[in-house]
Amino acid sequence: MKTSEKILSYIQIHKQATGAELSDFLEITDRAVRKQLKSLIENNTLEKIGTPPKVFYRLNTTKTYDSIEFNKETQEILEKNFYNITPTGKELVGVEGFIIWCSERDFDIQKKADEFVGIIKKYKNLKKDNLLDATSKLKKTFDQGADELYYYDFYSVEVFGKTKMGQKLLYAKQSENKKLMKEIVRTIRLDVVNLIKKKSIRAVAYVQPTVPRQVQFMKVLEKELRLDLPIVKINKVISDIRVPQKTLKKLTDRIENANETFVVESNPSFKNVLLIDDAVGSGASINQVAQKIKDKGIAEKVIGFAVTGSLNDFDVISEV
């Protein structure tokens, strides 16, 4: 019996196994086992679960679905924009991921693809210089604070829920996945740089996270953007009982929370400051911090930027 067949037989009986377990069973080196496992994963016979140092292998039970021919435009839009993370942490990406996603829900694939393309095109038409301008929504909700507000993308849209960027941001933060965080920054960096040039930005500030995590997205964002600008320091004051913004449902509560817990350090004055956040839901944090920057005399004008933002006015996004 071939080594690969012995591996499959062992996993079929034991349901799952580690590389070390297979090495002991087969009485071969770890390197030899890894070579066999790599081949079995590449041909979709096995799948890997977990991340080092805890990695297990099991038979690939993923269903295979018939392919479908899309026109060139649809195929390009699906490849660029479709992204879904399953409840088990698998990434469904592009055309192949879209077909699996539809098939698992018994959707008419072609009909759903047309719907997806229509929604993507509708919101793409709202972009200018590759960004969404949310300034009018800001002004309808708040009478002071940030002067302008831009998103890289909406957090979610109708029918399909979270956008590609919305999904990536959510899971990057919740799983504290630095690789995914860096991927997000690489995606948005050029547009942030262009916004800085267009708005004659002279300093930058970052809204500090309200949820304690070992790996903070905003810290990774600040480091990976590599902006050659002075940084206006924003501090998040921790009270005896921490109340994260995302736990508050009312806009008034979020405004009060932001107003009382964010502190802006003294800085030289700059004409225009860019204030960066990861996600804007109610708009309370970014707007109150912007006003504090102005009250300190640090900026004449504060331009807000968020990786993602709410679609319908300023919804409360409680996930991120």
Length of the chain: 320
Does residue 218 lie in a domain region?
yes
CA distance 149 to 128: 13
In tens digits, the chain (320 residues) has pLDDT values of 789 888 989 988 888 889 899 899 988 898 988 899 888 888 878 888 877 888 888 888 766 666 788 999 999 999 999 999 888 778 899 999 999 999 889 999 999 999 999 999 999 999 999 999 999 888 888 888 899 999 999 999 998 999 999 999 999 999 999 999 999 999 999 999 999 999 999 999 999 887 788 999 999 999 999 999 999 998 876 665 555 555 555 556 666 666 666 778 777 889 999 999 999 988 888 888 999 999 889 999 999 999 999 877 666 566 66
Do 166 and 117 lie in one domain? The reply is no
Both tokens of 56, joined, read 């297990």
24: domain CATH number?
Answer: 1.10.10.10
Does residue 246 lie in a domain region?
yes
Residue 246, pLDDT score: 58
Domain-terminating residue out of 92, 107, 124: 124
Does residue 319 lie in a domain region?
no
Do 102 and 251 lie in one domain? The reply is no
Does residue 252 lie in a domain region?
yes
Which residues does residue 132 pair with via DSSP β-bridges, in sequence order?
151
Do 52 and 158 lie in one domain? The reply is no
DSSP track, 13-60: HHS-B-HHHHHHHHT--HHHHHHHHHHHHHTTSEEEEEETTEEEEEE-
CA distance 83 to 267: 41
Residue 314, pLDDT score: 61
Residue 48, pLDDT score: 86
Do 172 and 90 lie in one domain? The reply is no
Residue 320, pLDDT score: 63
Does residue 320 lie in a domain region?
no
Residue 213, pLDDT score: 87
Does residue 314 lie in a domain region?
no
pTM: 0.80
Question: Cβ(77)–Cβ(117) under 8 Å?
Answer: yes
CA distance 215 to 269: 31
Do 136 and 154 lie in one domain? The reply is yes
Do 138 and 268 lie in one domain? The reply is yes
CA distance 119 to 131: 16
Query: Three-state DSSP class for 310?
Result: coil
238: domain CATH number?
Answer: 3.40.50
Residue 267, pLDDT score: 76
Domain-terminating residue out of 83, 101, 124: 124
Do 91 and 36 lie in one domain? The reply is no
Residue 191, pLDDT score: 97
Do 184 and 230 lie in one domain? The reply is yes
Do 148 and 223 lie in one domain? The reply is yes
Do 137 and 272 lie in one domain? The reply is yes
Do 14 and 53 lie in one domain? The reply is yes
Does residue 66 lie in a domain region?
no
Do 18 and 108 lie in one domain? The reply is no
Does residue 64 lie in a domain region?
no
Number of domains in the chain: 3
Which domain does 21 fall in, by range? 3-59
